[in-house]
Structure 1
Amino acid sequence: MDDFTPEQVARGRALRRAQVPWLLAGRLAALALSLVLGLTPAGAGLVTAAGGLFGGSRTAEVLAGAAALVLLGQLLGLPFAARVRVVRGRYGLVTQGWGGWAVDALRGLGLTLLLGLPLAYGLYALTAWSAQDWWLPAAGAAALLTVALSFLHPLLFEPLFNRFTPMPPGPLRDALHALAAQDGIPVRQVLVADASRRTTALNAYVSGLGATRRIVAYDTLLAAAEPREVELVVAHELGHVKHRDVLTGTALGAVGAAVAVAVLGLLLSWPPLLTAAGATDAADPRSLPLLAACAALIGAVSGPAQCAVSRRIEARADRHALELTADPDQFVAMQRRLAVTNISDVDPPRLLELLFATHPSAVRRIAAARSWQQT
């Protein structure tokens, strides 16, 4: 804590206390809505009513029901997201107007529908083939889709929310390319994301697999940080590539998606759940809210374990950055700058960290860097 002034510590804690209740309330509200719709006849009624607006066929019920579930979830989440945005705006972390925020929300909704409706259609085509064994081909398809989305994300989805321009030639770009070459990692491009039109927060990342791999730095990071600090951030991100975190994460995600589908197949064959949901079997479109509720519950239960794995991965990437640059002092300076500019709670309550944090706290990262320095 000695690395931060009392004012910086207090500011980070105040932001956390102001926004975390709204973030948690939004998650709980979304989960509660899913459970109410999935475990009572209300969801079945929603699917039937939505399908009836488009002719009442089985296909209409699947597609309109899926769309209705997505829209309800988005509408429920909007007040909580808006409140978090207001809080962050009071701390100077938001640069985007409400109009831009609304456009981003609509883009996100459109993307969710674009991906979700074909998935729902395909899934219920499989349940029509077999109400008992549908999950076998669905599990394989879920694994393949996870891999495909990981590869396509930087090419198709990232440009929907940010504009990317090549970093101008100069010492920093040369240094980042040299850092990647020193690490033995081929990088196609070094790009700058126009994050400043939304936020003042600092970040950088390496995205893509193989031919799509590129280093991306926020323009906010380039404007606020020293060049060596930018290198340290990128060295951390290169650590994810060096340890094949993206590839391993994609593989584990594919396995996890397949296992989740298998669990969903088991749950949707359990008569008490189907009766509670007002559905006859997995092939009945009225089981769609039950499917969504079970998926949401699986995600909520597995969240802390995923966060624990993520923190270990991030700590390993920190060690990689230190080993690659051999510059612990600048690493500490970089962690200070990130924490202060992003107004992070540098030492949050342990329970919150265990349940929700994907990265170690700033205090822990700095302590680990100093420990590394002494070895």
Structure 2
Amino acid sequence: MQPRLNHLWLGLMAIFFGFASLYLWYIIFPGKVSPEAFQYFSLEQINQGREHSRIQQLLMLAVVILEVILLCWFIWSGKAIALTRWTQQITRGSYYGSALLYFLGLWLIFRVLYFPFSYLNGFFLQKKWGFSTQTFSAWWVDTLKSAGLELGLGILGVLLFFCILKHWPRAWWLVVASLLSIWLVAQNFIWPLVVSPMFNRFEPVKDPAVLRMVSELSTKAGIPVDEVLVMDASRRTTRANAYFAGLGQTKQIVLYDTLLEDYPPDQVKAVLAHEMAHWQQGHILKGVTLAIFSNFILWGLLFIFIRTTIAPLTRYPPHTWALTLLFFAAVSFIASPIQSSISRGMEREADRVSVQLTGDIPAAVRLQVNLVAKNSSDVSPPAFIEWFSYSHPSVLNRIHLLQQEKATDL
């Protein structure tokens, strides 16, 4: 039976395209640059950062809109039902076989459709702008690794998903959300140890100056730091970054080698302090807890959407997967402001605590300026764009926060 296009889907699509239209408007018409930006950046840096950001935002938005439009057409044009019948015919009615073949068909179609965007944003433009240090063959190797990992996890996930649909037709959303919540916790242990080393090499930091910084800051923060690693980011990019990962014994601070090579010691110290501040404030645990909470809400909503779209059946058909993809594609975009707001709040808190640890506010300000200049980020994004999609506060807002911290100390 053809999935019903009901008021729930129409409402979801209205919100999605409303946000998408606003996002596109502010990409095309970002408004004037804040005069304060000229205190820290040249006109060339400002224009370059805005142009780079505009192109990347347009590509991101194009991918999301394309996915939603194609899935809507696919589901309500009858193609989704047709593919279900074809997979059931090919697999001779096998429940799991038809579900798996359905998943593989959609995965391959969207992989092919996304490839031009992936190549353009992931290689061509990064090379053109001088950020990428990869050869085309190395980029292909990374692309194939990512695709293989995604396909392997996807196959396991879709088979488990349809197994749960079959055995718990009324409570499947609760079972799926519970298992995914366990995965959200487990991946914090697994990812740094298994997945990340597939793409990069990680070595303990050996620089005595950096190790002294770690010792000093960890003592001030009251955090026993087990591991500070350097990642060979320079094999792919000129950009500098750092991140924290893991829970329990697998927790790590990871520094890009580009950060250690291209930034002065006081700014490296500011980065270390920022990452320790995330640890001290328990941001990983808070992030996982919020993700688990939202996980149950989203799967509960999906249950309502699917039950009102597909007539009650003893078995959910393979095109349930297409509905699931559409739901999460739209909702992930719509929920971006919530996710971004939570992330920005944690980043502001980490900025505040980091300068308390270092006592060096000017170095923290210089770090923000250098990161934005070298990464060619938009120094004065539209307020809507920042609210909707920025995981970190924009550079001028971060500088304001640091200056307020200075004023408070005085």
TM over 0.5: yes
Shift in alpha-carbon separation, 1:321–1:292, aligned structure 2, 3 A = same
- Counterparts of residues 56-135 of structure 1 (less than 5 Å): 56-84=93-121, 85-135=123-173
Quote the offset at 1:368 in angstroms. Answer: 1.4
Aligned length: 370
Following superposition, the deviation at residue 199 of structure 1 comes to 0.8
Segment drifting more, 35-44 vs 233-242: 35-44
Q: CA deviation digits over 1:37-66, x for unaligned, max 9?
A: 344432233344356555551111111212
In the TM superposition, what are the counterparts of 1:158-169 in structure 2 within 5 Å?
A: 158-169=196-207
Partner of 1:254: 292
- 1:366 correspondence with 2:403: no
Deviation of the 1:172 alpha carbon? 1.2
Name 1:44's counterpart in structure 2: 81
Residue pair 2:355, 2:364 contacting (<8 A) in 1 also: yes
The aligned residue for residue 5 of structure 1 is 42
Distance apart, 1:202 and its partner CA: 0.7
Please tell me the residue identity of whatever aligns with 2:185: V
Return the letter of the residue paired with 1:364: N
Residue 345 of structure 1 aligns with which residue?
378
- Correspondence 1:183 to 2:221: yes
In 1, the alpha carbon distance for the partners of 2:222 and 2:83 equals 54
Q: Which moved more, 1:146-155 or 1:28-37?
A: 28-37
Cα deviation per residue 1:244-295 (whole Å; 9 max; x = unaligned)? 110111111112112211111111111xx226xxx95762223221122112
- Is this contact kept in 2: 1:142–1:258, CA < 8 A? no
- C-alpha separation in 2, matches of 1:32 and 1:162: 36
**Which of 217, 228, 236 is the matching residue for 1:198?**
236
Aligned residue number for residue 249 of structure 2 = 211
**1:38–1:291 CA contact under 8 A, matched in 2:** no
Alignment deviations for residues 187-219 of structure 1 (CA, whole Å, 9 cap, x no partner): 221111111111111101121111001111001
Task: Give the partner amino acid of 1:60.
Answer: G
Summarize the Cα distance change of 1:325–1:67 in structure 2 as closer, same or farther, 3 Å threshold: same
Residues 39 and 157 (structure 1), Cα distance of their counterparts in 2 relative to 1, 3 Å cut: farther
**Is 1:234–2:267 an aligned residue pair?**
no
Moved over 4 A (4+): 50-56, 279-282
> Residues 190-339 of structure 1: matches in 2 within 5 Å?
190-270=228-308, 273-274=309-310, 283-339=316-372
Letter in 2 for 1:250: V
Q: Is contact 1:44–1:287 with CA below 8 Å preserved after alignment?
A: no
Q: 2: distance between equivalents of 1:332 and 1:135?
A: 46
| Residues in 1 aligned to 2:347 and 2:140: alpha-carbon distance in whole angstroms | 32
Which stretch of the first structure deviates more once superposed, 303-312 or 64-73? 64-73
- Letter of the 2:238 counterpart: T
Measure how far apart 1:328 and its partner are: 0.6
Is residue 24 from structure 1 mapped to residue 61 from structure 2 by the alignment? yes
- TM-score normalised over the length of structure 2: 0.85
Contact 1:205/1:216 (8 A) holds in 2: yes
Percent identity over paired residues: 31
Unpaired runs of 5+ residues, structure 2, are: 1-36
Deviations 1:141-183 (A, max 9, x none): 1211211122322112211221111212411123123312321
Separation (CA, whole Å) in 1 of partners of 2:236 and 2:314: 45
Contact 1:228 1:330 in 2 (8 A): yes
Equivalent residue, structure 1, for 2:212: 174
Rounded to whole Å, the distance in 2 between the matches of 1:210 and 1:172 is 23
Please give the alpha-carbon distance, in whole angstroms, between the structure 2 residues aligned to 1:321 and 1:25. 37
RMSD: 1.9
**1:220 Cα offset (Å):** 0.8
SS at match of 2:307: coil
Contact 2:242 2:255 in 1 (8 A): yes
Is the 2:218–2:224 contact (alpha carbons within 8 Å) kept by the matching residues of 1? Answer: yes
Cα displacement (A) at 1:331: 0.4
Moved more, 14-23 or 335-344: 14-23
What is the letter of the counterpart of residue 125 of structure 1?
Answer: C
Contact 2:348 2:393 survives alignment (8 Å): yes
Q: Structure 1: any 5+ residue segments left out of the alignment?
A: none
